[in-house]
Amino acid sequence: MTEHKYLATAMVALGLGLGGCASPADVSDIGTLRTTTAKGGTPFTQALSSEYRRAAVDTADIDTQDAAWLARRGLRAAAGEVVLPVDPETLTAWHWSSLFGDGSGLVEGRAQLLAELDGGARERVPREAAHAQSQYDCWAVTGDDDSDCGIDFRKLVVTLKVVEPPAPGPAKVPPPIEAAPDTKGGYQVFFDWNKFDITEDGARTLRLAADRIRQGHVTRIDVVGHTDSSGRPAYNQQLSEHRAAAVRADLIRYGVSPDDIQTFGVGQSGQIVSTPGKAREPQNRRAEITLQP
């Protein structure tokens, strides 16, 4: 939500903010969401509530009205409501269209997101689907196609698609029965600096991992995201979680059961290459996949 904060500041400076000072109700809604834990609903609505909470807290110091809008969506999700991505036509009063264009990209993006959500993404990958929706709403608020939210959303929404595994080839004569293969160890997927999108090399690695997992003898897959030390620790923790989630989403797309995958983010700890200070080290920007028999 960093770009959201910058935009909110600019809008206030131009006299184009949401209008007036924050009301006591706005402050109350933000505070309520801070202390609300989603206990009912579905894994998707629970994850969506958490995404809106993080967005509201990040925005509260810059624009309380924007934060309250996000908080109210988070409270609805926490109550178990399946909150839909915001309709950009309802945001015309916020004047983003006069700053950034006609909003056609937002309309197309919302249609694409709804197609994936209604196609089963809420149930199949609830955390990834919730994160994609929160990034869409952030993009809709800014109205800027080049914002970080908009760029991240366009990367995230394609990961919600299901990729069918290739059709099996001709049947082969099975080899003699042997002991189950040792599936310990795993794979590493590397990332560009400050990114969590999967590169072409990373996609090839994930296809290999998925093929191996589908052969059997694997009961659990642990995905651990890492970063280098070039950013702030809190930011690096969040980035490492996004990297693990991106790997999980692609493994699911390649036919791996989501129930078998656990994801973790450890920020800049566990470096392969020890570096002094805030160094950009490619070998440390990774996600490790460990297969458990």
User: Both tokens of residue 195?
Assistant: 């990114």
- Strands across the sheet with 220-225, in order? 186-190, 286-292, 220-225, 261-265
Give the separation between CA 115 and CA 65, rounded to whole angstroms: 30
Distances (CA, A) of 263 to 158, 159, 163, 244, 245: 20, 16, 20, 6, 7
Asked whether residue 114 carries a pLDDT value surpassing 90, the answer given is: yes
Q: Return the bridge partners of 84, or none.
A: none
Please provide the average confidence, as pLDDT, over all residues in the chain.
Answer: 79
Q: Which of 50, 77, 46 is nearest to 241 (CA)?
A: 50
pLDDT tens digit sequence for 135-174: 899 888 777 778 788 888 988 888 887 655 555 555 554 4
User: Both tokens of residue 120?
Assistant: 């089963």
User: Both tokens of residue 219?
Assistant: 């009961």
Tell me what pLDDT residue 32 has.
Answer: 87
Q: Flag whether the pTM goes above 0.85.
A: no
Local structure of residue 179 (DSSP, 8 states): P
pLDDT tens digit sequence for 180-205: 333 345 899 999 998 999 999 999 99
With both helix axes pointing from N to C terminus, report the angle between 64-78 and 126-142 in degrees, rounded to the nearest 10. 150
pLDDT tens digit sequence for 51-60: 988 888 887 7
Asked whether residue 18 carries a pLDDT value surpassing 50, the answer given is: no
Which residues, including other chains, have CB under 8 Å from residue 127's CB and lie 6 or more apart? 43, 47, 245
Domain ranges of the chain: 2-158, 186-292
Is domain 186-292 classified as CATH 3.30.1330.60? yes
139 burial level (CB within 10 Å; 0-12, 13-18, 19+): buried
Taking residues 85-104, what's their average pLDDT? 62
